[in-house]
Amino acid sequence: MPWCWPGSRQPGQPAAHGALGLARLPRVVTVDDQDRCALPQDSRLWPSVASACFQHHGRPVPVVDPLRLFAAVA
């Protein structure tokens, strides 16, 4: 299931667009400060694309920042 991000547009520059292929629709999850955790250690890329991380059902969930993600692959 693709998820589209409209991107950003700087004056005088073409619009930037991006898309992700997801297995299912993204969900809204309510979290508190106490759910904050460290980024997973399974990839050295998390710090460059995630702005935060929280625990959900005992597993770390990185919060992917679209600006960082698409800037990293540009």
At 26, list the tokens.
Answer: 């993204």
Residue 5 lies in a domain: no
11-15, 23-27, 49-53: range with lowest mean pLDDT = 11-15
Determine, yes or no, domain membership for 23. Answer: no
State the Cα–Cα distance between residues 28 and 43, nearest whole angstrom: 24
Q: How confident is the model at residue 16 (pLDDT cuts 50, 70, 90)?
A: low
List the domain range (segments joined by +) for residue 39: 34-74
Asked, for residue 71, whether it belongs to a domain, the answer is yes
Number of structural domains the chain divides into: 1
Q: How far apart are CA 46 and CA 64, in angstroms?
A: 8
Residue 47 domain flag: yes
Q: In this structure, is residue 29 part of a structural domain? A: no
Residue 49 domain-assigned? yes
Whether 11 maps to a domain, the answer reads no
